[in-house]
A and B are shown apart, each in its own frame.
Chain A
Amino acid sequence: MKNVLPILTVVAVIVAIWYVAAIPMNKQWALDQAARADTTLTTGALVLETWSQERPRLPAPHQVVTELWSSTGDLALSGSAFSKRSLILHAWYTLSATLLGFAFGTTLGILLAVGIVHSRAMDMGVMPWAIASQTIPILAIAPMIIVVLNSIGISGLIPKAIISAYLSFFPVVVGMVKGLRSPAIMDLDLMRTYSANQTQTFWKLRLPASMPFLFASLKVGIAAALVGTIVGELPAGAIRGLGARMLSGSYYGQTIQIWSALFAAAILAAILVGIIGVIQRRILKRMGMAQ
């Protein structure tokens, strides 16, 4: 309970700053409207006006929350949770590509890390490419992946998942290389005194020792996977997914829609990271390694 107060304080401060910021951002439009109607606005009326526009530059928090509710819970209560304008539906499209991409990325990341740790050639040959891959702006490469895959007849979930995997494998590689190399020299010497082979050393020492590193990487990885999916939804003119909602929002100047899709994505990311956190605690506790 003690933790709730500081959290609420921070949230309250952010919301307050947000409301205040909305006033100058949306003021001009309100003033123009008033001038056009030949009326003058009192300060109070102006402030209220900036918080209730239909297409504000910066929507006020309650507008975003209302839109979020009307496109999720409200629809669900009225039995149309999976209608076209439901964020639940769009979040599901994004989530499925994210999970697939995350599974790809994690598998690839772990395999690369195992190779890098066991082979000097891979250490020298793969790591620079892995780093280089992340220096290329994903926004530049995402449309190319989608176009190329489309031209060979692959569309829908897979191209988005590949972009998502492209972003999420990297933290897993870096974390797992560090994790698999984390055993102390003494721990490795112990294995040598048993004449253990590489396979035994891997399964009985390196892999268990890497678990805390793996989970830290997975948390970064799943968030990156979600970003990758959303980026993958943007350039193709997609009509499904949270990215598509953001895109169509920006086409039609529906800022409230953009922001609510943004929040839906953030909430989704928080839930995913939270789930990994729970799994992490369970597994590390069972392994006697809980912090």
Chain B
Amino acid sequence: MHPPDGTVPEEGMALTFSDKAEAEIKALLPRYPAGEAALIPVLTLAAQEYGALTDDVIDLVSTRLGIPPTRVLATATFYTMLPKKPVGKHHVQVCTNIACSLLGAEHVVEKLERKLGIRRGETTADGLFTLSEVECLGSCGSAPVMMVNETFHENLDEDAIDRVLEECRRG
């Protein structure tokens, strides 16, 4: 597939955005007086398309927005939600900040480590789960809490943890 402006890709420049992502980028740009302001949303899209912001994805974003790759990389590496390496199909993120830790968040992480057979920060060999320990998710009144991809799971007890993992495994 060719880049959206119709030019022929250069040697080695294999990546392009999908039509869907390109449509989203086109909708994003008019919201800002400066194209660079679309950088974080576009990096987020790029991470969704390619799974991680590898060097060639950084180049793609740089070319598309006309921002030097060093500046794209500076932003990409600053934010924890912009992944530098691929995460599993289900990204399990457990809050272990103060309110959650008072109600047993450490136990939640340890249980997940045992059940998934990985340590925090790792991905299962089948690529199904990544387990991360994260900072406050803003759900302290329903602690302990974890997020799986875009969904919050609150008031976690033993059964809830088991149930969530099973639901993920079922698909």
Task: State whether these chains interact.
Answer: no
Chain B residues proximal to chain A, CB less than 8 Å: none
